[in-house]
Structure 1
Amino acid sequence: MLMASLRQFEYLVAVVDEGSFTRAAERLHVTQPALSHQIRALERTLGGPLLERLPRAVRLTPMGRAMLPHARAALADAERARVSARRASGLERGELQLATVYSVSLGVLPAALRTWRREHPGVHIRLFEHRHADELLAAMAAGQADVAVGPPPPGWDGPVRTLGVEEFVVVLPEDDPLEGSVNIELGTLADRSWVHYSPGNGLAELVDRVCAAAGFQPSAAVRTEQTAAAPTLAAAGLGPALVPANVIPPRFDGRLLRPDPPVRRTLTAYTRGRPDPLTTAFVDVLARRATVLPEHVRRRLRLD
């Protein structure tokens, strides 16, 4: 079934407002035959005449009078959408949809979001959080968000921008009897029960993988769904935890150790196709302000 177009509505409204096909064509900068053709096409689509052509005027038919308010409303809605899109592309108003994984929303994004809010107060953020990088990738591919922040997406054919490399740290209670420097071989903790992550959380796989590389499988004293809980539980003495360094708050009373060899993860921002100006501006803010490795953790780990 054919549908009426905004152009046809525009032509109808112009003819009514001008009271003449000739003056409407002049106003719209089209030829009169072209205008008449579009009006006839609209009438065929709607199944009846909209205008009565008099010798010196144009008069609406009953069907035309019923149709005219809807035509004006459709044109007004289209104009509002156009203005909204223009404002969004100009970074004045709108909503940007952002998808990420739990740990990134906790540790990496706050500084960038604070800068974005200060620089673009009229553009709001809608945040989608996922347990696993695979879930994030699938959601982004399905069109959930404008930009995703997480580990590099395998096989992604859109733009990908590296934000930095995050460090992971081992957390122990401040009074833990373990001796040594700020570096630790994970195998040293093989006989301990760990603060682990719940199945489905992407960090659970990471912990299992790096512990396996160190020659053991970690037993879990407790499993948590929330990344933020892991360092707190570890500092309380429930067991060592391996956590992203950027989730450690500045005033943290646990002991931080750096795994040897280091455990690192690259973080990226990725989009589909060619990003619009709003998304591009947000990714630029991420590249400037995302807290991949906080300075207070860098000092505690004595990193250069």
Structure 2
Amino acid sequence: MELQQMRYVVAIAETNSFTRAAERCLVAQSALSHQIARLERELGAKLFERTSRRVRLTPAGAAFLPAARQCLDAAERAAAQAAAAVGEVRGRLAVGLIPTVAAVDVPGALRDFRQKYPHVRIGLCVGASDDLVEQVREGALEVAFLGLPTTVVPKGVNTYELARDRHVAVVAPDHPLAEESTVDLRRLSAEVFVDMPAGTAGRIQSDLAFSAAGLSRDVAFEVTSADYMARLVGEGLGIALLPSAYVPRLTGVTTIEVIDAPSRAEYVIWSRTVCTPAASAFLAILGISTGPGTPDRGPVPGSSVRVAAE
């Protein structure tokens, strides 16, 4: 059994096509098919069912696929560790972040990293904080940037707190509140809200603040993008609460200080079990050490970390 055969299995499973898998792997389809047939003979089981319309995994193929991915990941980590031993950083760097991350200039940090380590393949995905924590624990991401209520700390991962920030109210320019300099949650509770989906970290911090104040509110629109929240607010469909360090990026809305505003902490997290050379190098770009005694709070003087106002 060879690693290349496993790469072919993964490519076929992800593309549902021998033809597209061969194109992705830069190999002739006949050669790919030959290697899959050879692997199936060795295993004594068919991995794929092929029809005129599609290719799909057999039960044996579905059982084989996760282990094949793990083997490929392990081989990539081994190669990266060997390169690191002679002073080279290679492999991959998969980074996750929430849409409203503000404590770090992530594109700028990736630019600096890319210039210093051009042989690392970089992947970037945007998601919800809870999902990003799970992906780091599972090894799908090496590093992630989160925003969580200040009462919540990510579990099962290495954690570094970057900044804390308070929310502000975001309203349309012609909203009756737009002329106010400050407002409180009781006044805001009479408004219709645009917010993140219920149960997400971006929503919970506001829900907790209203609950602690003994207030309820009407969330009429639930969306997953902070930019789209601002678009709905700009159309006068509701108001929103967003981190003060993030809202300067928005246009077409007005912000108001909230006296008893909810707050959040921004974190960068990485795996407790395997910190790849690429992940260590990226965190070092931010001025964060992954060695023993790493502090759990920022900022780090001289790093590229931009910390939001406390």
TM-score, with structure 2 as normaliser: 0.58
Which residue of structure 1 lines up, in the alignment, with residue 60 of structure 2?
none
Consecutive unaligned residues of structure 2, counting only runs of 5 or more, are 2-74, 288-302
> Which of these residues, 304, 307, 310, is aligned with residue 289 of structure 1?
304
Select the structure of larger CA radius of gyration. 1
Cα 1:254/1:179, change in 2 over 3 Å: closer
Cα 1:81/1:212, change in 2 over 3 Å: closer
Which residue of structure 1 lines up, in the alignment, with residue 107 of structure 2?
110
Question: Partner of 1:208: helix, strand, or coil?
Answer: helix
Cα 1:246/1:121, change in 2 over 3 Å: farther
Are the counterparts in 1 of residues 170 and 255 from structure 2 also a CA contact under 8 Å? Answer: yes
Which residue of structure 2 lines up, in the alignment, with residue 269 of structure 1?
268
Aligned residue runs from structure 1 range 107-186, under 5 A:
109-131=106-128, 133-150=129-146, 151=148, 153-156=153-156, 158-178=157-177, 182-186=181-185
Aligned residue runs from structure 1 range 223-302, under 5 A:
223-250=222-249, 252-271=251-270, 272-273=272-273, 275-286=275-286, 288-293=303-308
Distance 1:176 1:207 in 2: 21
Letter in 1 for 2:279: T
Q: How many residues align?
A: 216
Cα 1:82/1:242, change in 2 over 3 Å: closer
Are the counterparts in 1 of residues 233 and 240 from structure 2 also a CA contact under 8 Å? Answer: yes
Letter in 2 for 1:275: C
Distance 1:289 1:232 in 2: 30
Question: Partner of 2:187: helix, strand, or coil?
Answer: helix
Which residue of structure 2 lines up, in the alignment, with residue 15 of structure 1?
none
Cα 1:217/1:143, change in 2 over 3 Å: same
Are the counterparts in 2 of residues 87 and 93 from structure 1 also a CA contact under 8 Å? Answer: yes
Question: Partner of 2:231: helix, strand, or coil?
Answer: helix
Deviation at 1:181, TM superposition (A): 5.1
Paired-residue identity, %: 24
Are the counterparts in 2 of residues 185 and 259 from structure 1 also a CA contact under 8 Å? Answer: yes
Distance 2:283 2:217 in 1: 37
Distance 1:254 1:119 in 2: 39
Cα 1:283/1:175, change in 2 over 3 Å: same
Cα 1:91/1:163, change in 2 over 3 Å: farther
Distance 1:137 1:148 in 2: 7
Question: Partner of 1:110: helix, strand, or coil?
Answer: helix
Cα 1:106/1:228, change in 2 over 3 Å: farther
Which residue of structure 2 lines up, in the alignment, with residue 7 of structure 1?
none
Cα 1:265/1:106, change in 2 over 3 Å: closer
Cα 1:91/1:227, change in 2 over 3 Å: farther
Consecutive unaligned residues of structure 1, counting only runs of 5 or more, are 4-78
Are the counterparts in 2 of residues 196 and 224 from structure 1 also a CA contact under 8 Å? Answer: yes
Deviation at 1:88, TM superposition (A): 5.5
CA deviation profile, 1:101-154 (whole Å, cap 9, x unmatched): 3433998633433333344333232224332x3332222222222223224644
RMSD: 3.4
Distance 1:146 1:199 in 2: 27
Question: Partner of 1:178: helix, strand, or coil?
Answer: helix
Letter in 2 for 1:136: L
Distance 1:167 1:149 in 2: 17
